[in-house]
Amino acid sequence: MTASMTFYEKVYELVRRIPPGKVSTYGIIAEQVSMRSAARMVGWALNKADLATVPAHRVVNRNGELTGKGHFFTPDTMRRMLETEGVTFRPDGSVNLERHLFRFNGS
């Protein structure tokens, strides 16, 4: 238990703000928690997160690729969940960020 635990909570809270049908990226989340260049920490925090309460499937890399799919029940679980929420994919299997990238408000 350390004071840096707020880091995880911030990440989880931000991810929960992403609405169905939208996605965000590790880099953007990292920037939101004041750690611009530590995008790795975000994915790492998500790996330790409770998938039942944190929509981790809505976080992709900067190219829209589902780099975290290997951490779900099956390799295609992540994509199926996104498709169910209305997210569309490009022929190469990456998310069309132009259409589905969620922008956090300053709130």
Partner DNA sequence: GACATGACGGCAC
Partner DNA sequence: AGTGCCGCCATGT
Residue 96 CA to residue 75 CA, distance in Å, equals: 19
Any residues with CB less than 8 A from the CB of 105 and at least 6 apart, and which? none
Q: Does 80 bind DNA (CB under 7 A)?
A: no
63 or 96: CB nearest DNA: 63
Q: Which residue in 26, 81, 82, 95 binds DNA (CB under 7 A)?
A: 26
**51 sits near DNA (criterion: CB under 7 A):** yes
C-beta atoms surrounding 78 within 10 Å: 22
Count the Cβ atoms, other than its own, within 10 Å of residue 41: 18
Look up residue 104 and give its two tokens. Answer: 């956090």
* Contact status: 100 vs DNA (CB under 7 A): no
Binding site for DNA (CB under 7 A): 2, 4, 7, 25-27, 30, 35, 37-44, 46-47, 49, 51, 56-57, 59, 61-63, 67-68, 70-71, 78
